[in-house]
Chains A and B, each alone.
Chain A
Amino acid sequence: MVNGDFDEKLEMVKYFVNDSRELLDDVEPQIIAMEEKALSSGKIDEEILNAIFRLFHSLKGSASFLDLQTIISVTHEAETLLDIFRKGQTAVEPGYVDLLIRTSDFIRNILDTVERQLNDNGYESGAAVIIEDLQKTIAAVSLSQGNSGNVEAAGSIPSEEAMDEPADAAEFTISGNLEEMSLAITPEMTQRFVEENLELLDDAEKTLLALEKEPGDLESAGQAFRALHSFKGNSGFLGYADLEELSHHAETLLDKIREGEKVCDSVAISFLLIAVDALRDGILQINQGISLEIPGQVEIITHLDKLSGDTDGSLDKGGPEQKCQALEVAGGFGQTHADEIPEKRPDQAEESRKPLKEPFKEENAVKNRGEKQPPSGQQQAIRVDIEKLDKLLDLVGELVISEAMVANNQDLKGLQLDRFEKAVLQLDKITRDIQEVAMSMRMIPLAGTFRKMVRLVRDLSQKANKKVSLEIIGEETEVDKTIIEQISDPLVHLIRNAVDHGLESPEDRLAVGKPESGRVTIEAKHSAGEVWIIVEDDGRGLDREKILKKGIERGLIKNEDRDFKDEEVWRLIFEPGFSTAEKISNISGRGVGMDVVSRNIEKLRGKVDVRSRPGIGTMIALRIPLTLAIIEGMVVRVGHTRYTIPINSIKESLQPKNWQITFTPDNLEIISIRGELLPVVRLHELYNVQPDCRLLTDGILVVVESEEKKSCLFVDEVVGQQQIVIKGLSNYLGHVRSVSGCAILGDGDISMILDVSDLINSVEGASA
């Protein structure tokens, strides 16, 4: 049904795929939650069921808009199954849940294909299998309910004709009890609904105006039609029948125009614009929390219908899109048969309006409890291309560099410039503010990533035959987009480890007096410029002896007769290929996972903390700096070369006295600071440059710390602190020893950023 040009279709498909993926992301945790509740209480939670139903339903709606038959037929069957659940008191068996999850996975696969080839061809056979399974389940469930009527209705509907049968959807909207449904509509959903629909209306208005200028432009008509159609779908989804109805009539008229059946004159455009305005009023009312009332709705509809040429609308015409309109309209009006709709429409609408007002109030109440009422008619969010945000961040980086170039300009050295300094201070403040805003624009809540773990835990617990309850804390914590991308894999590995290795089997747990069901917690929080993502389990803890033995076996750690610190032992598990598992299960044991964790976190310049106590559990904390591109750095000088040390790894700097210096027999220099003995790293020796000072007492020692190990870096001078924009050292050069990147200094020169943890480790390696 899409007759737009290729680009437009591409755009629409992109939106569709993205939206659908979001829907599926939402649906999965819900299915699992339903299963959990059903298992614990023996009853299906109706609210969750309705939520799942709605998600599948809107998936079907948008798929039918793009005429993706496979998705339509599969979602339809899933809906039917859910509908039976909703009616009956059937106990949910795990098999049903698996089936639903399989369905959602299947749709996800189709989406990947749709994204590539713009249609869902090639999945027919897979769909047939799933549909068959769904229908079998439907039949089984209905039989067990003794509800033979449903079997006929559900089991016998071939998927293509399914769209003609509005019964399910109709019952969903009206007979499904509205009170409960509206409870599940969150203020966020309403907010998103309002934003999206205002956008759609703006879009429709724009294209209508374009259409007025060029009445022959069928493409514009199509675009306006699509905008209104999506609007209708959204409104129906949230149960705003008035909006749905009005937009339907406007849409019908536009469809006629689009098909060339109706001449597009200024009268038609005027009424369409009036309709759009009325719809916008409605949306604004929803936004303000006023109960929905569209002034002059009936008149507008009458005019629109008159213009459409027949009062029958387009419902008696064939074609897939009409069918689906019929379905959705029918959905709004109850169990009426599609062909009866036109006559009954006004009273039906009247009827349906009454019960619908109640839920609105409910919703407003929820909303008022929220923080602040957005000013009416103002858009709260806009979509921005991620490339633009990246570009903005790059530019902010350049700005920070230029700011430093101005402030530390060589030409100004030694001049008395009070007013200039003041201005620079102001500039500095603004630059930092801009930087902060630019960063915050790229921040996304971790919720999406965390929710995927719900599904993972469920699958894992089944595979490993363990009972696991997953707790998620702080999913609203926002982090940079790059972190989201990098954090997903490590999280998967950590959770796999927690479930597979960490948690004991139910029998073992009971034997040691723990609750049968294991607990895994994922927590996110902000802490001092870092975001902490913590995965914790209450399992058996890491086996220190086993790890140590394996580490010595593999030569990763020297077999010394001394007490190893816990951190030293735990670090071994991050070595590539390190595994203490005797046999490799299909979940984990190859020793790849933790390597991935440490690598990805390293990429984000983060750290991994491990705490574990035998019998009590393991906690792994990923500590990732909030800002990726810009850090505070301390610039130090060795001879002509300047190096930058990230400020958060510097403990202190000092000029050592003679008595603090000790030479070991290996000719290593050790500095004693407040009772601590720290090794000295001479940067000039490490990087082979000519220093000004060779005596430790002449230069400066910078004490740096990483992973709870300290070292002193010997430099000629500490130049100063500044904001550093991290730039990769060219790929052409490859990796440079103990250098994590480079920074452009105030005078335009380049300085290497030292990788402190690498430095400290290399010193250890050399001294061991």
Chain B
Amino acid sequence: MSLKERLDADLLNDEEDDEDTQEDKFLTFILGKEEYGIEIRFVTEIIGIQNITEVPDMPHYIKGVINLRGKVVPVMDVRLRFGVKERPYDDRTCIVVINIDDQSVGLIVDRVSEVLDIPKTEIEPPARVKKGENSRFIQGMGRVGEQVKILLNAHKLLFDEEQQY
């Protein structure tokens, strides 16, 4: 999986960099047909799917915990978080480990695609459509050439629960 290795290398370097150089950079991943982006400053690493230990009494989108080099990291299936149909994990399934407020959480995604520069001028606020409460996870729509990436608000993705049930 050369892409993943490359990304890993990139990310390692990025950790040393200033916040400035991380700005406007998004890691994009694929979920079903859509491509999503998440701010790279939150991402600490990307790993393949691992053995997940179930944890009782969790919302359905929390699949359990994994052992990340001795650290216990909870993992969330982003498909389930968005209410998209679950699909079996395969060898392209990835866990994107993000770190917000000192909390490490793994995001299970179909596959990781690339790191993109999306300047602020190319980002539009999320469309104000009534339907779908999942829009609360969206920070904006990023234009990259002809394509549109859905940029996620990582904080809301992790912590926003108000309207879930």
- Chain A residues proximal to chain B, CB less than 8 Å: 397-398, 401, 641, 686-689, 727-733, 736-737, 739, 742, 744, 748-752
In the assembled complex, the CB of B165 is this many whole angstroms from the nearest CB of chain A, namely: 16
Name 19 interchain pairs, CB-CB below 8 A, sorted by A: A401-B70, A641-B54, A686-B56, A727-B71, A727-B72, A729-B72, A730-B73, A730-B74, A730-B104, A733-B58, A736-B58, A739-B56, A744-B70, A744-B72, A748-B67, A750-B53, A750-B65, A750-B72, A752-B55
- Given A742-B72, A748-B51, A749-B67, is A733 in contact with B62 using a C-beta cutoff of 8 Å? yes
6 interchain residue pairs of minimum CB distance: A750-B53, A687-B56, A730-B74, A732-B103, A727-B72, A732-B74
Q: Which residue of B lies closest to A747 (CB)?
A: B51
Q: Which residue of A lies closest to B158 (CB)?
A: A732
Q: Does B66 make an interface contact (CB < 8 A)?
A: yes
- Given A728-B72, A732-B74, A744-B70, is A737 in contact with B65 using a C-beta cutoff of 8 Å? no
A residues near B51, Cβ cutoff 8 Å:
748-749
Q: Does B20 make an interface contact (CB < 8 A)?
A: no
Q: Give 1 or 0 for each of B150-163: 1 = CB within 8 Å of chain A CB.
A: 00000000100000
- Given A689-B54, A748-B51, A752-B53, is A733 in contact with B67 using a C-beta cutoff of 8 Å? no
Q: Does B146 make an interface contact (CB < 8 A)?
A: no
In the assembled complex, the CB of B39 is this many whole angstroms from the nearest CB of chain A, namely: 18
A residues near B72, Cβ cutoff 8 Å:
727-730, 742, 744, 750
- Given A730-B73, A732-B105, A732-B158, is A744 in contact with B54 using a C-beta cutoff of 8 Å? no
A residues near B62, Cβ cutoff 8 Å:
733
Within B91-107, the residues touching A (CB, 8 Å) are 103-105
Bound-complex Cα distance A398 to B71 (A): 10
Q: Give 1 or 0 for each of B55-88: 1 = CB within 8 Å of chain A CB.
A: 1111000100111001111100000000000000
In the assembled complex, the CB of B158 is this many whole angstroms from the nearest CB of chain A, namely: 7
* B interface majority secondary structure: strand
A residues near B70, Cβ cutoff 8 Å:
397-398, 401, 727, 744
B residues near A737, Cβ cutoff 8 Å:
56-57
Bound-complex Cα distance A739 to B64 (A): 14
- Given A729-B72, A732-B103, is A751 in contact with B53 using a C-beta cutoff of 8 Å? yes
Q: Which residue of A lies closest to B53 (CB)?
A: A750
In the assembled complex, the CB of A415 is this many whole angstroms from the nearest CB of chain B, namely: 23
B residues near A733, Cβ cutoff 8 Å:
55, 58, 62, 65, 74
A residues near B55, Cβ cutoff 8 Å:
729, 733, 736, 739, 752
Q: Give 1 or 0 for each of B102-134: 1 = CB within 8 Å of chain A CB.
A: 011100000000000000000000000000000
**Besides A730-B74, A750-B53, 20 new A-B residue pairs in contact (Cβ under 8 A), listed by A number:** A397-B70, A641-B53, A688-B56, A689-B54, A727-B71, A730-B65, A730-B73, A730-B105, A732-B103, A732-B158, A733-B55, A733-B65, A736-B55, A736-B57, A742-B53, A742-B65, A742-B72, A744-B70, A748-B51, A748-B67
Bound-complex Cα distance A397 to B70 (A): 9
A residues near B56, Cβ cutoff 8 Å:
686-688, 736-737, 739, 752
In the assembled complex, the CB of A633 is this many whole angstroms from the nearest CB of chain B, namely: 15
Q: Which residue of B lies closest to A751 (CB)?
A: B53
B residues near A751, Cβ cutoff 8 Å:
53
Q: Which residue of B lies closest to A735 (CB)?
A: B57
Q: Which residue of A lies closest to B51 (CB)?
A: A749
A residues near B158, Cβ cutoff 8 Å:
732
Contact call A731/B103, Cβ cutoff below 8 A? yes
In the assembled complex, the CB of B66 is this many whole angstroms from the nearest CB of chain A, namely: 7
In the assembled complex, the CB of B157 is this many whole angstroms from the nearest CB of chain A, namely: 12
Bound-complex Cα distance A9 to B127 (A): 58
B residues near A736, Cβ cutoff 8 Å:
55-58
Q: Which residue of A lies closest to B52 (CB)?
A: A750
Bound-complex Cα distance A750 to B64 (A): 10
Bound-complex Cα distance A750 to B58 (A): 16
Q: Which of A398, A733, A751 has the largest count of B CB atoms less than 10 A from its CB?
A: A733
Contact call A730/B103, Cβ cutoff below 8 A? yes
Bound-complex Cα distance A20 to B104 (A): 41
Q: Which residue of B lies closest to A401 (CB)?
A: B70
In the assembled complex, the CB of B102 is this many whole angstroms from the nearest CB of chain A, namely: 8
Contacting residue for A729 out of B65, B67, B103, CB 8 A: B65
In the assembled complex, the CB of A688 is this many whole angstroms from the nearest CB of chain B, namely: 7
Bound-complex Cα distance A749 to B73 (A): 12
Q: Which residue of A lies closest to B159 (CB)?
A: A732
In the assembled complex, the CB of B80 is this many whole angstroms from the nearest CB of chain A, namely: 15
A residues near B65, Cβ cutoff 8 Å:
729-730, 733, 742, 750
In the assembled complex, the CB of A131 is this many whole angstroms from the nearest CB of chain B, namely: 48
Q: Which of A401, A641, A750 has the largest count of B CB atoms less than 10 A from its CB?
A: A750
In the assembled complex, the CB of A661 is this many whole angstroms from the nearest CB of chain B, namely: 26
Bound-complex Cα distance A732 to B154 (A): 14
Contacting residue for B66 out of A401, A739, A750, CB 8 A: A750
Bound-complex Cα distance A729 to B104 (A): 12
In the assembled complex, the CB of B119 is this many whole angstroms from the nearest CB of chain A, namely: 32
B residues near A728, Cβ cutoff 8 Å:
72
Q: Which residue of A lies closest to B105 (CB)?
A: A732
Bound-complex Cα distance A210 to B67 (A): 49
B residues near A749, Cβ cutoff 8 Å:
51, 53, 67
In the assembled complex, the CB of A182 is this many whole angstroms from the nearest CB of chain B, namely: 54
Q: Which residue of B lies closest to A742 (CB)?
A: B72
Bound-complex Cα distance A241 to B58 (A): 71
In the assembled complex, the CB of B64 is this many whole angstroms from the nearest CB of chain A, namely: 8
B residues near A727, Cβ cutoff 8 Å:
70-72
A residues near B67, Cβ cutoff 8 Å:
744, 748-750
B residues near A731, Cβ cutoff 8 Å:
103
In the assembled complex, the CB of B99 is this many whole angstroms from the nearest CB of chain A, namely: 11
Q: Which residue of A lies closest to B58 (CB)?
A: A733
Q: Which residue of A lies closest to B71 (CB)?
A: A727
Bound-complex Cα distance A398 to B69 (A): 9
In the assembled complex, the CB of A220 is this many whole angstroms from the nearest CB of chain B, namely: 35
A residues near B66, Cβ cutoff 8 Å:
750
Bound-complex Cα distance A633 to B66 (A): 20
A residues near B105, Cβ cutoff 8 Å:
730, 732
In the assembled complex, the CB of A726 is this many whole angstroms from the nearest CB of chain B, namely: 11
In the assembled complex, the CB of B47 is this many whole angstroms from the nearest CB of chain A, namely: 13
B residues near A641, Cβ cutoff 8 Å:
53-54
A residues near B74, Cβ cutoff 8 Å:
730, 732-733
Bound-complex Cα distance A689 to B55 (A): 10
In the assembled complex, the CB of A404 is this many whole angstroms from the nearest CB of chain B, namely: 12
Bound-complex Cα distance A744 to B66 (A): 10
Bound-complex Cα distance A737 to B55 (A): 10
Q: Which of A730, A739, A751 has the largest count of B CB atoms less than 10 A from its CB?
A: A730
B residues near A730, Cβ cutoff 8 Å:
65, 72-74, 103-105
Bound-complex Cα distance A294 to B70 (A): 57
Bound-complex Cα distance A744 to B72 (A): 8
A residues near B53, Cβ cutoff 8 Å:
641, 742, 749-752
Bound-complex Cα distance A737 to B56 (A): 8
Bound-complex Cα distance A751 to B51 (A): 12
Bound-complex Cα distance A737 to B105 (A): 20
Bound-complex Cα distance A750 to B69 (A): 11
Q: Which residue of A lies closest to B74 (CB)?
A: A730
Bound-complex Cα distance A751 to B64 (A): 11
A residues near B54, Cβ cutoff 8 Å:
641, 689
In the assembled complex, the CB of A598 is this many whole angstroms from the nearest CB of chain B, namely: 23
Q: Which residue of A lies closest to B62 (CB)?
A: A733
Q: Which residue of B lies closest to A397 (CB)?
A: B70
Bound-complex Cα distance A751 to B70 (A): 12
Bound-complex Cα distance A644 to B104 (A): 24
Bound-complex Cα distance A750 to B67 (A): 6
Bound-complex Cα distance A749 to B158 (A): 24
Bound-complex Cα distance A728 to B104 (A): 13
In the assembled complex, the CB of A742 is this many whole angstroms from the nearest CB of chain B, namely: 6
Bound-complex Cα distance A398 to B103 (A): 21
Bound-complex Cα distance A688 to B57 (A): 9
A residues near B104, Cβ cutoff 8 Å:
730
A residues near B71, Cβ cutoff 8 Å:
727
B residues near A748, Cβ cutoff 8 Å:
51, 67
A residues near B57, Cβ cutoff 8 Å:
736-737
